[in-house]
């Protein structure tokens, strides 16, 4: 938890400094809505998982004599969310909102776009997919929109399973990945196929079409940043990165979850391509950034835990010499 707070603070200050005169206010309605909304969504996911636990455990906790639920016994056996988890999600939410300063830099400074180069590599893939029997925009739109539900379900599973240290590390990695992705977007701006070749995508009536219009308006300065708008940033794909970290974090605790999360991860990656949000290579970048962020956080965590073991003996030795 301490590492998450320190990392979030450092990244927030850095993003504020990089944005300069374009920086958004560090505290306000924008930040409060994310800090409150993020743990609220987690709470909803946690309640749904508790309901699932109830359905699984209730038959074993029926009273033999009259077949009535022993509610007190059932409540005792449920793994309930903890306050520490709410704090973790609030800090992480603020860290994600703070990356909006870098989105402002991306919006204002991007001039040379790399879409032509990426499209020249992946045009055959899109020509093969678009118009094929798998090109089902409404289906892929539904898959794309629920990625955060899957991520929050993974978060809830970690908290209900009382694995808060791993949750804190995972959320620190997500915050770091969000900021790194924004910096990469500034250095390597590409909008994505839906903005580069919009005529190829049949998205009428989908949430994707409405969101794409909103992002175009945001890039033109017609919509103010609310802490959640990423702009038309394609490389790397945070959508794919988020699905990857949810999948791998769950697998570290419960390997059997891969039977569920691997297909979910693949479908989410495919949805970003079919809907035109990302090139396939953007997904590779998203996995790489999230994996690198997780490795960096694990490394920092090991260093922090080993520091007392090396510092205290030195301090004690110095005190003895004196």
Cα 238 from Cα 151, distance rounded (Å): 12
Predicted pLDDT of residue 57: 61
Structure tokens at 51: 């309901």
Which tens digits make up the pLDDT trace of 157-193? 777 656 777 778 888 888 899 899 989 988 888 888 9
Asked if residues 234 and 188 have their Cβ atoms less than 8 Å apart, the reply is no
Which tens digits make up the pLDDT trace of 238-269? 889 988 988 888 888 788 888 888 998 999 99
Higher pLDDT, 63 or 172: 172
Asked if residues 149 and 49 have their Cβ atoms less than 8 Å apart, the reply is no
Confidence of residue 65 (pLDDT cuts 50, 70, 90): very low
- List phi, psi (to 5°) of 65: -75, -30
Choose among 270, 266, 268, 289: nearest CA to 279.
Answer: 270
Which tens digits make up the pLDDT trace of 12-50? 888 888 888 777 777 766 666 766 766 777 777 777 776
Residue 68 has pLDDT above 60, yes or no: no
Question: Structure pTM?
Answer: 0.81
Cα 31 from Cα 28, distance rounded (Å): 6
Choose among 250, 12, 268, 277: nearest CA to 118.
Answer: 277
Q: What percent of the chain stands above pLDDT 70?
A: 78
- DSSP bridge pairs for 62: 69
């Amino acid at each position: 938890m301490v590492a998450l707070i320190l990392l979030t603070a450092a990244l927030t200050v850095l993003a504020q400094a990089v944005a300069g005169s374009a920086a958004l206010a560090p505290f306000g309605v924008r930040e409060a809505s994310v800090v409150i909304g993020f743990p609220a969504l987690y709470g909803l996911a946690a309640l749904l998982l508790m309901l699932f636990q109830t359905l699984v455990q209730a038959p074993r906790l029926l009273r033999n004599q009259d077949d009535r639920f022993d509610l007190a016994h059932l409540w005792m056996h449920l793994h309930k969310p903890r306050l520490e988890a709410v704090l973790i999600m609030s800090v992480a939410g603020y860290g994600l909102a703070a990356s909006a300063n870098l989105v402002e830099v991306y919006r204002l400074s991007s001039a040379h776009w790399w879409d032509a180069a990426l499209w020249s590599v992946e045009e055959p893939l899109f020509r093969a997919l678009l118009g094929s029997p798998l090109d089902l925009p409404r289906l892929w739109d539904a898959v794309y929109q629920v990625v955060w539900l899957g991520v929050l379900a993974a978060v809830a599973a970690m908290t209900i399973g009382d694995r808060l240290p791993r949750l804190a590390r995972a959320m620190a990695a997500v915050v770091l990945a969000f900021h790194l992705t924004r910096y990469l977007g500034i250095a390597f701006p590409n909008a994505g196929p839906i903005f580069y070749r919009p005529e190829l995508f049949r998205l009428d009536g989908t949430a994707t079409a409405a969101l794409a219009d909103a992002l175009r308006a945001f890039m033109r300065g017609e919509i103010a940043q609310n802490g959640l708008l990423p702009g038309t940033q394609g490389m790397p794909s945070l959508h794919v990165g988020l699905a990857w970290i949810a999948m791998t974090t769950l697998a570290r605790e419960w390997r059997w979850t891969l039977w569920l999360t691997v297909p979910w991860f693949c479908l989410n990656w495919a949805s970003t391509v079919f809907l035109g949000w990302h090139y396939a290579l953007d997904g590779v970048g998203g996995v790489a950034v999230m994996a690198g962020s997780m490795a960096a956080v694990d490394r920092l965590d090991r260093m922090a835990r080993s520091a007392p073991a090396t510092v205290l003996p030195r301090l004690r030795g110095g005190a003895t010499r004196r």
